[in-house]
Every structure is written in C-alpha cells, then in structure tokens.
A and B are shown apart, each in its own frame.
Chain A
C-alpha cells in the first residue's frame, strides 16, 4: 500500500515541501488529501534527501500542515485513452469533465511523451488547403507543421483558427481526421465559440476537447497542452488519423510557468520568465509532425497573444524560434476592416517550399509568391513615402506599386469568414493583381511562367474592377 505522509512543513504559492519521505521520484504524481476529503493533484519538482518539493495543480488554498495527507503514486501523470475519446470533454489534467465523458480506457500514456527521433521523422510536404488566400498562397500550411498564430488582444484569432479547422478538415482525400482542441486559460465564451463552430460543421464528434478555462486552476495549465498532445499522438500514430491540434492561448501557459518559477525563487531570464522556457516550450511544439511508415500526422496551430502586440516579447520570440513559421495578425489591417487581418510581410511558413509547386499546388506557385511578396513590400514602402511627399510626387512605377498594395489587401488578403477559396483561384488572383506591372518589373518569376500565365491576365484588369 502506498504510504501516506502527514509531514508538510512549508507551503508557499503553489508549492509544498514534504519532509521525511522515502523513495520519492522526480516528476512523480502526487495526491493531496485535505482534511475535508477534498482531493488534489501535484507533481514532484525536486527531491533532496528526505525532502520533496511538490507543485499543486489546483492551488494550495485550504492546505494545512497538520491534517493534510500526501501520497506519492510512483508514476508520472497519465492520460487514459481509447478511440472513444473523440467527442468527449476532459479537464486540463485529462480527467473526464462530466460523468458522460467517462471512457473505458484501452491504454494509458505518460503525458510528457518522448522526443521523436529526428531520423524517424518524415518531412512534412503535403499541402493543406485552408481556403484562405493569405495562408494558401503565401504562407502555405502543410501536414505535420506547427504554425502558430501571433495575435493581440481584441483581434479575431479565434475566427481564423476556427476557419482553418473548418475548411481544412473537411477538404482532402477522405482520410480520417480529428481535431484536438486544447483551451488553456481562455474564457467560457471563447471556448463556446469553438465548440459551437465544431457542432455546426459536424466536427464535434471528431474532436477531443481539453478544457482549462480561465476560472480553472492556473497551475494545471502546465499539464493541459501535454494532455492534449498525448491524445493527438495516440490518434495520429496509433489510430492513423490526421490530427489538427489547436492550442489556445499559449501565453497563459507561459504565465503559469513563470508563476512556478517565481515561487521556486529561480534566477529569472528575460522579463521574469524562466531561463528554461525555450526548452520547455520545445517539448510541446516539437510534438508535431509525421513519422516514417505511419499514416497519421499531427499539425499544430498554437494561438498566442503578444503582450502589447510586441513580437520581441519572450513568449512570441521563443515560440518563433521553435515553430515552423508564424501567422501574424495586424491591428491596423483589422481597423481597416480587412478580414482576416493577416499581416503578410512578417508572416512566414518555413515548410511551404516542399509543399508547393508542380503536382502539389501549381508549378508557378513559388515564383508567384516571391513576386507578390516583393511587390507588396515595395508597395508598403511607397505608401510610407507618399505619406511624407504626397501621392503626386511618386514616379509612375511607384504609383503602380501604391495601387497594387491597396488592391492586394482588399482583394487578396481580405475574404469572408465562410469563403473557401480553391488554390487555383488564389493563384490566379495573384496573377491578376500582378498583371498591372510591366513585364520587366516581374523579376522574381521565370520567363517560361511569364510566357505561359501572364497573357491570360493582362488587360483583364478593367473587367476585374468592374466586377
């Protein structure tokens, strides 16, 4: 029988010190029973001699040094799994949220997982059509990628994530798919938005929901994304499904990490976040990808709110160094009523090059997006210039760029929440917009593609305007 200890000597913030313990292991799961029989969970953060430092997920309120008992369970935190998890709702620690969410487990897995051997990975190169031009055309998402959305307070990141889940999930080659939705400290309303959207599109029965809402214990958030990813790994690599994981909001996760670090009085790194945050985040984000010989895949879309819209804040900064690109939302585009307000220039998908081109999207895709990028960047520069000098002072060619940048935002970036554009449509739209330029300005596109595609779109500009 497991030994019960009544020897808590120190309680501070989310941490407990238990003395006189034997055989306690690092990272072990702990059960804490309060005097009034309330049961809480914890994890061993450090063992030294006969002392164990325990982090309590549900907070330490009500815990005392006399009546509270502690049991060490001899294993890490496990998630109980079976194919029935689809359509069920779990807490941030992976427990059923209501009795109807109980399952008959087929197996249990440690939520920390193990690193995927880089040798056994398969490179992600299958194009996912999200139906959003700014993503498909310029920041192409591929299966097995981790592509975060960097957003700010009040921006419509939830709409975009839901649109991606809705449109990319239903498309494709009739393969088994699943959505793992992980709510980390978001509000009830935000979480309901997603659940309603899944319900309307019929995706709910293919979804696993892991919910830690804003009023749930903050320290539990350390475990929440790991619970979700354990479900995803099970579905993808054991049940051959293509899994889309939405993690929202990773900023809340990092805050929890910071809280524990501060309680342990660790030397802080930048802006009070712990020095090991990079490694810690990597153990979450790197749990995406494809594995040789396995049919399934895990594609991750973490959402994180940039404090003060600052991209160099440690959370987005470290995330950007781990993930394979980022979709950045812009407040100024949002104010211009451009929806989705994707800031194209600093956004990036690192894996697009292998996912586009002949037999995947279209042969001209790579050259085309390079040209669109370059032209839009120049257009933005010209717009800045025009603010100082006035539009009249621009050269003829600069005027073209000025107009191009405006149209690009209005027609290419902007589209409806329920508009599902095919990749053909997106590419042709790019050509249409570029056709206003003289041919020698289109340096990023090979001659053969200019010969083949450009004539189709030149002179149709007026038509487009009229339409």
Chain B
C-alpha cells in the first residue's frame, strides 16, 4: 500500500516522514496509531515535513503515517452558529463531553452533528434550473440567522426533486440533474480552508459598518467589507475592543477567532454572549456568533490553521448574502506560529526571525475580505465580509514586522496607546495616530442617511484635538495663563471631546453602545458649545466665567442618556444659549 508513510524525525510540532510518494502539499495526514492530525508543508523526494495539530510527545521513529490525499477542509452547514470550535474545527463542547475537562490527544468529533435534524424549507421547486450559489432553501438555524442552503460550487442543472421536512446534514434534500449525471445535494458542504470561496465580482465598500463605539464611528469608521487592524501593547485594551465590536457591530453573523490568546477570555465570550441582547432584535448575541478558540497553550500548528478555518466559515455566510464580521485576536500569535514552524523547517529567516512570506500570507488573508456579488446567476445577492485583526507587537513597538506588513494591506488603523490606557481613557485609540481610509468612500451614504453635516463636524472636532496637542506643548513650557481666551476655549472643548465623547465605558449599561444618531447629536452639541463660547468671548464675556459654566456638567452626562431620551440632549442647546446669555447680562451690569 502506497498510503502508509513512516516517521523518521520528530522535533516539536514538526514531523518528517519517508515513503510519502504521492502525497500533495497541504494534504491532511494522520500520524501514529493515536491518529494525530497533521498537514504536509514540505515535500522532498519521498520525504514530507508534516506540521502536527496536536502534542507530539511520545511519538517515535518508525511510527506509521496515514495519508488521506485530501486537503484540510471545514464542514459547512446548519449547526455552525453558536458553536465553539478549536483551530481545526473540532467542537470543544463535544470534546468536553467525550474527554472531560482537559483536551487529550487524538480526539475525533465531527464538526457538525450527524444526528441533529434540521427543518428544511425549499424555495425552488422541481424543474427549476439552478447553478452554483443559488439558494435552494433555508433552515431557521437560530432566531437571528436564516441559514440558506446553496447549490455547491461546480454543480448546475435542473432540479429533479426537492423536499421539505426534517433532515440531518448528511441526508439529501434535493437532487439535481447535471451534465455528469444526477447529484444528490445535502445540507453539508466541505471546503478546503486555504482556498478562497469563489464569488462573481468584488465591489467597492461604500456603506459604513457602525459599531456603536463613538471613536470608531465618528472619527475612524470602517466600511462593510473593509479591513481594520488594532495594534497595541498588552494592557491597552485590544481584547476589550474586539469584544465590544463583536457585541455591537451591525452585522448579521460574527466569527470570532481567539488565536493563541487566553483561555479565560474565550470563556468570558462563551458566558457573556448568550446573556447580551442584540440592540435591534433583542435576541441573545450568541445566536449570530461562531467562535474559534485556539488558546495559547493549545498546539501551535492548529493556531496557524485557525484563522483559515474562521475565514472560510465567514465566507460561507457571506455567500448567503449576509454581512459578516470576522475578528481575529491576535494575528501576531498566528504570525508567531508561522515563525515557529518555519524555524523548525530550518528556513532562512527574515525580519525578527519571521519567515520571508509573512507579508504575502497576511495580505492574502486580509484580501479575503470585501463586498461581493455572490455566484448566483438568478438572484442578485450581495454579501460582505469585514475583517478586523488585533496585532500584539512586542513592547507595543509599531515597527514590528507583523504590524508593518498588516498596515500595508488594511485600510483602517486604530492605534492603541499605553499612555491613554494608564489614565483609564478607554477605548485607548489614539486620535492623533489612527486613520481610516474609508472616510471618502462612505461619505455619500453617511451624508444621506445620517446627516449632511456629519463630516464637517468630524473635521471641526479633529481640528480642535490637533490644536490641543500643539497648545499643550506651549502650556508645558510657559503655563496656561499665557494663552489667549480663544486658545483656552480650544483646550476646554478638546478636553470635552476627549472625556465626554471619545471616552466610552464598555462596562456601563448605557454607555457601552451609542447609536450613530446619538453620536451625531453629541458631537454637534459640543461643537455648538465651542462656536457659541467663542462668539460670546468675542463679545466680551470673561473666559474664567465660561470655564465655570454649569452646562458643562450636562454635556459630560450626555453619554449616560438613553437612546430613547435623545430629546434631553437637544435641550442642552437651549441651556448653552441661556447660560451664556446670562453671563453676558451679568457682565454688562
């Protein structure tokens, strides 16, 4: 039999086997009789290097290697939502049931339950002509996600039969007559993770994806189908931001990849998401979430695979016409996994020991994001996949190769600063260093749907913050008393923007999420205050009086006003006028 190799070297997660003729790059193999899953990453003659997804302790020379001649695939179908998988799509909840509290080796559990029956409702009927990507029908997987069953890639023809009723993922729901004979269609498909799922055409991202986070939506917005990265040193709140986005982002499906991070963080998501309610539907957020967890102590090779597993699942939901958001926390751990494997392969290292192909891998990962016209020829379906990656550079140093390679491809950069985190200014996104390249592309949509004044206010606010940083230098040198009245107002209002608008408490019931409408009114109030204060200053009101105005406390409390009481913020405009008017009157008398 040609499908049995033999181990000749074991070094950490890397195994070299001989007698591997006939195997292909990235084929899955099983090592030893405990059947540890691995993937071929290098071939030389009849020898192959295998990265093993499980601990290799106890493996010795001479043990068998079983070939499958198939690449690493994921199972796609009903049952994905609300699941928690490891890096190679093994369901952790089922592993818990079969193996107990600890993950032991060689466990094999199918990703999608083979027993569970799903109620399938067809939307096409016998005699219809269908092609790849068309919706055959749907399963109400959760109250938030209607799971469409698609015609698989490479199949087109006339439907011979299609049935409604309860099926498992392996039972055929339809039969299609193709050129190569009739094909039975099940609700489950398999797809190789390293291959992008096909689509008809990519389009430009022009619609903003609101997140309920003020600093993001107002200053550094992300578009549907866009890419963003969040680099920062430890303790600067990367994970809290990723969690906040996963909770409140305006997407249909969330795929959250915990890549080489803490076990307790995944537990937090698992416990919290079923409790939290989606602001629109009032349903638990877990009902739109898929979790991939490869914690830092789980095998390193599976970490390398986990981002691919996650993004393939995300693409699958995109193909149904959904807006999908993928969070990867953290891509640095993924890059480190690549570095570790590369080191074991004794490849020539590039920057900081990372492999030379680091940039190419990162770029092709982020490029799997986008808004696409789906394959379907009959229906006009558009799906979006937004990718947000956290980066954990050593010491927060942005010259790190992973950060630099990421910045070359992503369009939004949320730079986290330790200094802001120390003063408990969260989210610690620096307003001076961050940027978003989507401001122009989403302009039309925002001006039409939020307010035409939106970008003017954004520019005004940003100018004040820039000016503040210049003035702070001066204050540091010569003291605040030397500043003019105008400049002191700039400092006052910039502080207002920082503390009363940008600062947002993720653990406060109301403050954790702010609708875009409320964000707009909040910033408008602050800018209005700025303009009025300036006017009155010019007409002779004392700056010291303005600095002591009571209305400032009301502005500070705006963020705690619930969305339903948004009128209360409107009344602040009136309060600003009346208090300033009073000051002027006092001044004149």
Residue-wise, chain A 113-146 has the 8 Å CB interface mask toward B (1 for contact) of 1111111111110000000000000000000110
The answer to whether A322 touches B343, judged by C-beta atoms less than 8 angstroms apart, is: no
Give the residue name and chain of the A residue nearest to B300 (CB). Answer: A279
Q: Which residue of A lies closest to B347 (CB)?
A: A267
Q: Which residues of A contact B442 (CB under 8 A)?
A: none
A322 to B293, CA, bound (A): 15
Q: Is A373 an interface residue (CB 8 A)?
A: yes
Does the CB pair A119–B84 fall under 8 Å?
Answer: yes
Size range of the chain B interface in the assembly: 35 or more
Partner of A113, one of B59, B96, B102, B337: B102
Interchain CB contact under 8 A, A76 and B424: no
Q: How many A-B residue pairs have CB under 8 A?
A: 215
Which chain A positions have C-beta within 8 A of B552?
A: 440
Tell me whether A116 and B262 are in contact in the complex, defined as CB-CB below 8 angstroms, given that A49-B9, A269-B353 are known contacts.
no
Min distance, Cβ B61 to any Cβ of chain A, angstroms = 5
Residues of A within 8 A of B127 (CB): none
Say if the beta carbon of B395 comes within 8 Å of chain A. yes
Q: Quick one: CB contact mask for A33-73 with B, threshold 8 Å, 1 for yes?
A: 00000000000011111100000000000000000000000
Q: Are B424 and A117 in contact (CB under 8 A)?
A: no
> Is there a chain A Cβ closer than 8 Å to B367's Cβ?
no
Q: A292 to B92: give the CA distance in the assembly, Å.
A: 14
Say yes or no: A443-B556 contact (C-beta < 8 A), given A269-B339, A270-B352, A312-B396: yes
**A345–B9 CB distance below 8 A:** no
Tell yes or no: B276 within 8 A of A by CB: no
Question: Closest CB of chain A to B491's CB: distance in Å?
Answer: 11
Tell whether B333 is near chain A: CB-to-CB under 8 Å: yes
Give the segment of B220-228, B448-456, B476-484 that binds chain A: B476-484
Residues of B within 8 A of A292 (CB): 101
Residue in A47, A50, A393, A444 whose beta carbon sits within 8 Å of that of B479 in the complex: A393
Nearest-neighbour CB distance to chain B for A373, whole angstroms, equals 4
- A151 interfacial by beta-carbon distance below 8 Å: no
B243 → A minimal CB distance (Å): 11
Q: Is A370 an interface residue, CB under 8 A from the partner? A: yes
A384 to chain B, nearest CB (A): 8
Inter-chain CA distance A317–B293, complex, in Å, is 22
Beyond A27-B57, A446-B560, whether A373 also contacts B423 by CB under 8 A is yes
Knowing A123-B264, A326-B235 touch, does A286 contact B59 (C-beta < 8 A)?
no
A276/B264 in contact, CB under 8 A: no
A115 contacts B102, CB within 8 Å? Answer: yes
Among the listed stretches A6-14, A164-172, A346-354, A429-437, which one makes contact with chain B, having 4 or more residues with CB under 8 Å of it? A346-354
Residues of B within 8 A of A (CB): 8-12, 16, 55-62, 84, 92-93, 95-96, 99-104, 233-235, 258, 260, 262-264, 266-268, 270-271, 293, 295-298, 300, 333, 336-337, 339-340, 343, 349, 352-353, 392, 394-397, 418, 421-425, 475-481, 499-500, 505, 507, 552-553, 556-557, 560
- Closest Cβ of chain B: how far from A440's Cβ, in Å? 5
Can you list the 3 inter-chain pairs with the closest CB atoms, starting with the nearest?
A: A312-B395, A282-B296, A377-B423
CB of A242, distance to nearest CB on chain B (Å)? 17
Partner of B103, one of A112, A117, A266, A388: A117
Using Cβ atoms and an 8 Å threshold, which residues of chain A touch B233? 312, 320
Contacts of A440 in B (CB 8 A): 552-553, 556
Q: How far is the CB of B331 from chain A (nearest CB, A)?
A: 13
| Interface size range of chain A in the complex | 35 or more
Kindly state whether residue A202 has any CB partner on chain B within 8 Å: no
Determine whether the beta carbon of A321 is less than 8 Å from that of B10: no
Chain B contacts of A351 at CB under 8 A? 264
Partner of A279, one of B84, B264, B340: B340
Q: How near does chain B come to A272, taking the closest CB pair, in angstroms?
A: 11
Q: Once the chains bind, are A275 and B336 in contact (CB under 8 Å)?
A: yes
Contact B423 A378 (CB under 8 A): yes
B296 engages A25 (CB within 8 Å): no
Most buried by B among A50, A121, A283, A354: A121
A123 close to B268 (CB less than 8 A): yes
| CB-nearest residue of chain A to B294 | A118
Report whether B296 and A114 are in contact in the complex, using a CB–CB cutoff of 8 Å: no
Q: List 26 A-B contacts (CB under 8 A).
A: A23-B60, A47-B10, A47-B61, A48-B10, A116-B101, A116-B102, A118-B92, A269-B353, A275-B343, A279-B296, A282-B297, A286-B262, A289-B264, A312-B397, A322-B262, A325-B235, A345-B423, A348-B421, A370-B424, A373-B424, A374-B425, A388-B476, A389-B479, A440-B552, A443-B499, A447-B557
Residue of chain A at shortest CB distance from B332: A321
CA distance A101 to B485 in the complex (A): 77
Cβ of A317 and Cβ of B235 under 8 Å apart? no
- Whether A287 is near chain B, meaning CB under 8 Å from some CB there, is yes
Measured between beta carbons, the chain A residues less than 8 angstroms from B103 are 114-117
Instruction: Give the complex CA separation of A287 and B297 in angstroms.
Output: 9
Known contacts: A114-B102, A312-B396. The answer to whether A26 contacts B60 by CB under 8 A is yes
Nearest residue, chain B, Cβ from A440: B553
Shortest CB distance A290–B (Å): 9
Q: Which of B8, B95, B293, B352 is A48 in contact with, Cβ under 8 Å?
A: B8
Q: Are B10 and A46 in contact (CB under 8 A)?
A: yes
A28 at the interface (CB under 8 A from B): yes
Interchain CB contact (< 8 A) of A314 among B99, B260, B271, B394: B394
Beyond the given A324-B264, A373-B423, please list 20 additional residue pairs across the A-B interface where CB-CB is below 8 A: A26-B58, A46-B11, A47-B61, A48-B61, A115-B295, A116-B101, A117-B92, A117-B96, A118-B92, A118-B266, A119-B84, A268-B353, A269-B352, A286-B295, A292-B101, A312-B395, A312-B396, A317-B395, A321-B392, A348-B235
A117 touches B95 (CB 8 A): yes
Which residue of chain A is the closest to B15 with respect to CB atoms? A26
**Given A112, A115, A385, which contacts B57 in the complex, CB threshold below 8 Å?**
A112
Residue in A270, A350, A378, A395 with the greatest tally of chain B CB atoms within 10 Å: A350
Q: Which residues of A contact B92 (CB under 8 A)?
A: 117-119
Chain B nearest CB, measured from A412 CB (Å): 16
Is A294 an interface residue when CB atoms closer than 8 A count as contact?
A: yes
